[in-house]
Chains A and B, each alone.
Chain A
Amino acid sequence: DVKVTQSSRYLVKRTGEKVFLECVQDMDHENMFWYRQDPGLGLRLIYFSYDVKMKEKGDIPEGYSVSREKKERFSLILESASTNQTSMYLCASSPNRDTQYFGPGTRLTVL
């Protein structure tokens, strides 16, 4: 079974803090993705990566950055958290560009 884990299920941070969300997959997938999910807006792609040290912007990259130093780990960074970044963050990995396996999600609240 594919396993995608995320570092926290729930996280509360203050405005202006630097926030790190970690995602790890154990299936040697090359492709990894970060989404946020908001009511009425659905899943929106923030960043994705098709290889180590490689990253591409998704639909809403503003305010975020990513890091992929190892194949199994893809980190999402909020340089200076803002209240409009309160959301559910979902990481996914994929052996191709089609089938994606999602982690359990991190519900981030920025106060």
Chain B
Amino acid sequence: DSGVTQTPKHLITATGQRVTLRCSPRSGDLSVYWYQQSLDQGLQFLIHYYNGEERAKGNILERFSAQQFPDLHSELNLSSLELGDSALYFCASSVEEGKSSYNSPLHFGNGTRLTVT
């Protein structure tokens, strides 16, 4: 058990809808990262938050947004869903960020499997 909790485990929704994925990082971890894993794109970095502040954006669509709350949990909001958004969405956490943490692994949750029909 990595200590990172993601809910829900599975989500099935229709095109055009909006969903929210939730993540609770490991106790003490200030950094939260979101990744998308699809069959054709592999593991794609979406966004990184540290202690409530957005730090970096990757290949995140404008229809997607995220935030990290004062209690450090994070939510990823996906709107106007398309069939191509079907994927496994991972949240990961790390105790630190930046160059000093180059030897710190990211600890991943079990993911939310999103199916858009």
Q: Do A and B come from one complex?
A: no
Task: Give chain B's interface residues, CB within 8 Å of chain A.
Answer: none
